[in-house]
């Protein structure tokens, strides 16, 4: 079929425009058009290529994901080896590296030597080969000399352009970078895998590596992968600038995504300042890093410095303190939380990891403990990341003693001796002792006084434990009966501290309905759900009178949460505590309840939301849906009617597609309401 010239030109114009907007969105995070307009451009191109298949080109934006899995991986020999880096584990080693560079270049300390600095991503190194601007091959680093051909998979990564933009790029350009899975994407993917009973990834690096080694590119396309380029490899048919930083800037101009945290610094002092700055912000970057990489910025200097057998002399990785270490399990204990949940905890031979000494690590629940099969006497890998509670990653089975025993769930609470129960299909086992269990009482009181609840400053964990142990606190209401004389008799409590605490307790009496609901500690009623309940019902009496079906009209409240709310207010002891709180002066403003639009177009329908919407905030979208009679929930299930999806939609989108749930964009949502 002959393709009209106008159609050929239109298709090429669409491809160029889509590439331009892909670059703005994925590389620069500066979108110019809303999703609905981008989708319109893509649909038009798909229709043209569907009508005239001869229009389809390898670099077309429609060709990111192939249809058929490959049979296996082919080997790729790197024309220019992908070398590893030497490591510096402290300030002294970095100074030694800098001195070696200065000495080999014949410079003195007064010479201003610049380094290109950037975070060291904990991902998978890849090589991308572009010929005449078109991506023709993607390969893993492998052993540095030979890698695996993963072209079918790198094509699915939105951050990797199928065709370069702009002008002036060499006829053959090899781009080297790191493929990684962002922290939010990793968390959401694992949550979906857990709910669907599928295999979960241990860490983002394993997730990225496993995703790149899928034989079926459709599976890779479901993974939230990203990439930052960090250098250029083989170049043919063109020239590049004479500094590393200028090359990276040029790659960015050609549509390649590069790390926004990169910076040119002066001398070893500039390197150390950069290292400290990145270290402080490490847990807010949104992706895992294990250090910083410094490269002599001047390419002539790089060439003069050369290489040793496996690493360049002009670059070094400055590593953060280890976040994984080996140690031994001394004991496994079960802690009891405020809802009675039993959490197994490994007591460890103290080990310095991630900048602190770690003596214990969470094992989450009995199923996770059995999955990892952690036993007393085992040698284990322990991980700590930022402020996250340390966890046991895995057991080193080769070092397991012969006489170890599998840990079993206790039948009685280790704190109060009450029965332990475990509801079918739930991972959590619980003590039924409620507030008669000292551990549950302590944790419930800690929650009640926490910053986002009643916010009682000065009433910390140690004081609560002392008061519970002396029977001075049985319920939250007892806090408002505390007297200075009682407080001053406690360890480390002087007159001024007691005065301040009494003042804080009195100040906390004036609160909000949402804070009170959160402070009560109703199972699975977190801060957001408490706020939704407060807005929806306005007053405590309205909430107490709500049926299970009525509760589920509130955003984020499903049948399980509704059951927990009803069970809480059906308990006479809980009602007595609330009555006493009010008697002792705790008060909050109440309002009229929200009236649900039972005649609205979304009446009786359930929505979930994922991604960033082009013009609406999530709260605005929730309000629109609620005003139309619908309800918004936090997770996808087969009872969800619609998924409202925006940019960077995560695993909710994949799950919705698997469950055949209708997917809306912002435009379709507004259109449905307008009908």
Over the stretch 617-654, which tens digit does the pLDDT of each residue have?
887 888 788 778 887 777 777 778 899 988 877 778 87
Question: What are all long-range contacts of 56-61, with beta carbons under 8 Å and residues at least 24 apart?
Answer: 57/15, 58/134, 58/136, 58/162, 59/15, 59/133, 59/134, 59/135, 59/162, 59/163, 60/15, 60/162, 61/15, 61/18, 61/19, 61/22, 61/162
* Set 110, 120, 509, 675: catalytic member: 120
Report which listed range, 61-75, 190-204, 365-379, 585-599, is most confident.
Answer: 365-379
What are the domain boundaries of the chain?
5-63, 92-319, 324-406, 434-508, 513-589, 606-674
* pLDDT at position 37 over 80: no
Beta strand pairing call for 324-336 and 631-633 = unpaired
Q: In the CATH hierarchy, which top-level class contains the domain 5-63?
A: mainly alpha
Of 70-84, 135-149, 290-304, 516-530, which range is least confident?
Answer: 70-84
Nearest alpha carbon to residue 193 among 500, 652, 578? 652
Mean pLDDT of the chain: 86
Given this model, what pLDDT does residue 542 score?
92
Between these two residues, 48 and 418, which has the higher pLDDT value?
Answer: 418
- In Å, how far are 202, 505, 578, 600 from 442, measured between CA atoms? 33, 17, 18, 46
Confidence of residue 192 (pLDDT cuts 50, 70, 90): confident
* pLDDT at position 350 over 90: yes
Between these two residues, 123 and 275, which has the higher pLDDT value?
Answer: 275
Residue 225 CB-density burial (10 A; 0-12 exposed, 13-18 middle, 19+ buried): buried
Report which listed range, 1-15, 20-34, 212-226, 276-290, is most confident.
Answer: 276-290
Averaged pLDDT for residues 370-397: 85
* pLDDT at position 460 over 70: yes
Return the residue matching tokens 């602190």: 356
CA 178, CA 163: separation in Å to the nearest integer?
A: 19
Of 3-17, 160-174, 245-259, which range is least confident?
Answer: 3-17
* pLDDT at position 9 over 70: yes
Given this model, what pLDDT does residue 36 score?
64
Confidence of residue 505 (pLDDT cuts 50, 70, 90): very high
Given this model, what pLDDT does residue 283 score?
81
- Number of Cβ within 10 Å of residue 416's Cβ equals 18
pLDDT in tens, 427-450: 889 999 888 899 999 999 999 999
At 454, phi and psi to the nearest 5?
Answer: -80, -15
Averaged pLDDT for residues 344-371: 89
Structure tokens at 166: 């702009």
Given this model, what pLDDT does residue 565 score?
94
* pLDDT at position 10 over 60: yes
Angle value at C-alpha 199, between 198 and 205, nearest 5 degrees = 140
Angle value at C-alpha 240, between 237 and 246, nearest 5 degrees = 160
Rg from Cα positions in the chain: 30
Confidence of residue 221 (pLDDT cuts 50, 70, 90): confident
- Number of Cβ within 10 Å of residue 507's Cβ equals 13
* pLDDT at position 511 over 80: yes
Domain 92-319 fold is D-amino Acid Aminotransferase; Chain A, domain 1 (3.30.470)
Given this model, what pLDDT does residue 569 score?
94
Given this model, what pLDDT does residue 28 score?
61
Given this model, what pLDDT does residue 388 score?
60
* pLDDT at position 267 over 60: yes
Between these two residues, 408 and 202, which has the higher pLDDT value?
Answer: 408
Domain 513-589 fold is DNA polymerase; domain 1 (1.10.150)
Given this model, what pLDDT does residue 384 score?
75
Given this model, what pLDDT does residue 25 score?
59
Q: Which superfamily does CATH assign the domain made up of 606-674 to?
A: BRCT domain (3.40.50.10190)
> Are 434-508 and 513-589 the same fold in CATH?
yes
Question: What percentage of residues in the chain have a pLDDT greater than 90?
Answer: 39
* The domain defined by 324-406 carries CATH number 2.40.50.140: yes
Given this model, what pLDDT does residue 27 score?
56
Given this model, what pLDDT does residue 71 score?
58
* pLDDT at position 22 over 80: no
3-state helix, strand, coil in the chain (%, to 5): 40, 20, 40
Q: In the CATH hierarchy, which top-level class contains the domain 434-508?
A: mainly alpha
Given this model, what pLDDT does residue 450 score?
93
| Residue 99 among the catalytic residues | no
Prediction pTM value:
0.51
Averaged pLDDT for residues 3-30: 76
Question: What percentage of residues in the chain have a pLDDT greater than 70?
Answer: 93
Report which listed range, 171-175, 201-205, 431-435, 558-562, is most confident.
Answer: 171-175
* pLDDT at position 69 over 60: no
Given this model, what pLDDT does residue 47 score?
79
Given this model, what pLDDT does residue 355 score?
65
CA 454, CA 480: separation in Å to the nearest integer?
A: 12
* pLDDT at position 554 over 70: yes
* pLDDT at position 357 over 90: no
């Amino acid at each position: 079929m002959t393709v009209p010239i106008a159609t050929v030109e239109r298709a090429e114009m669409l491809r160029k425009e889509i590439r331009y907007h892909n670059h703005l969105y994925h590389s620069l995070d500066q979108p110019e058009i809303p999703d609905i307009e981008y989708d319109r451009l893509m649909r038009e191109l798909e229709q043209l290529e569907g009508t005239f298949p001869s229009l389809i080109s390898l670099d077309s934006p429609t060709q990111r994901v192939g249809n058929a899995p490959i049979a296996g991986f082919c080997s790729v020999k790197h024309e220019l080896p992908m070398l590893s880096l030497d490591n510096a584990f402290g300030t002294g080693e970095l100074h030694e590296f800098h001195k070696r560079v200065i000495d080999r270049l014949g410079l003195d300390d007064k010479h201003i030597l610049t380094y290109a600095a950037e975070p060291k991503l904990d991902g998978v190194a890849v090589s991308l080969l572009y010929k005449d601007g078109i991506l023709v091959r993607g390969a893993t680093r492998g052993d540095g000399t030979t890698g695996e051909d993963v072209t079918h998979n790198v094509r699915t990564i939105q951050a990797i352009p199928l065709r370069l933009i702009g002008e002036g790029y060499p006829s053959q350009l090899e781009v080297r970078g790191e493929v990684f899975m962002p922290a939010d994407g990793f968390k959401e993917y694992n949550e979906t895998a857990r709910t669907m009973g599928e295999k979960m990834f241990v860490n983002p690096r394993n997730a990225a590596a496993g995703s790149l080694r899928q034989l079926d590119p459709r599976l890779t396309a479901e993974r939230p992968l990203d990439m930052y380029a960090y250098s250029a490899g083989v170049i043919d048919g063109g020239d590049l600038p004479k500094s590393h930083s200028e090359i990276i800037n040029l790659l960015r101009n050609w549509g390649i995504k590069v790390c926004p945290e990169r910076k040119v610094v002066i001398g070893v002092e500039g390197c150390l300042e950069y290292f400290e700055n990145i270290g402080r912000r490490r847990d807010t970057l949104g992706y895992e890093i294990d250090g910083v990489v410094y490269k002599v910025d001047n390419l002539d200097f790089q060439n003069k410095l050369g290489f040793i057998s496996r690493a360049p002399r002009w670059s070094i990785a400055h590593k953060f303190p280890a976040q994984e270490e080996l140690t031994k399990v001394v004991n496994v204990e079960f802690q009891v939380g405020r809802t009675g949940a039993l959490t197994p905890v490994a007591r460890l031979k103290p080990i310095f990891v991630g900048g602190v000494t770690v003596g214990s690590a969470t094992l989450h629940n009995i199923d996770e403990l059995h999955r990892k099969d952690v036993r007393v006497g085992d040698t284990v890998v322990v991980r700590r990341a930022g402020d996250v509670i340390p966890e046991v990653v895995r057991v080193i089975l080769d070092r397991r003693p012969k006489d170890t025993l599998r840990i079993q769930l206790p039948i009685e609470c280790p704190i109060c001796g009450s029965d332990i129960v475990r509801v079918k299909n739930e991972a959590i086992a619980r003590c039924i002792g409620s507030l008669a269990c000292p551990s549950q009482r302590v944790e419930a009181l800690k929650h009640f006084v926490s910053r986002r609840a009643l916010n009682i400053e000065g009433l910390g964990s140690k004081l609560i434990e002392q008061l519970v142990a002396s029977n001075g606190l049985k319920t939250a209401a007892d806090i408002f009966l505390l007297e200075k004389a009682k407080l001053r008799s406690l360890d480390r409590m002087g007159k001024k501290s007691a005065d301040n605490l009494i003042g804080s307790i009195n100040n906390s009496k004036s609160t909000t309905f949402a804070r009170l609901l959160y402070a009560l500690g109703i199972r699975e009623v977190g801060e957001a759900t408490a706020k939704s309940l407060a807005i929806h019902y306005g007053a405590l009496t309205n909430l107490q009178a709500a049926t299970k079906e009525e509760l589920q009209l509130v955003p984020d409240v499903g049948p399980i949460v509704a059951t927990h709310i009803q069970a809480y207010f059906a308990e006479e002891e809980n009602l007595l505590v609330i009555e006493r709180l009010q008697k002792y002066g705790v008060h909050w403003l109440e309002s009229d309840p929200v009236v649900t639009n039972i005649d609205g177009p979304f009446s009786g329908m359930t929505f979930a939301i994922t991604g960033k919407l082009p013009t609406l905030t999530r709260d605005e979208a929730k309000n629109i849906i609620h005003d139309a009679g619908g309800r918004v929930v936090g997770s996808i299930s087969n009872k969800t009617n619609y998924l409202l999806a925006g940019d960077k939609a995560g695993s909710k989108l994949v799950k919705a597609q698997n469950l055949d749930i209708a997917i809306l964009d912002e435009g379709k949502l507004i259109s449905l309401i307008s009908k």
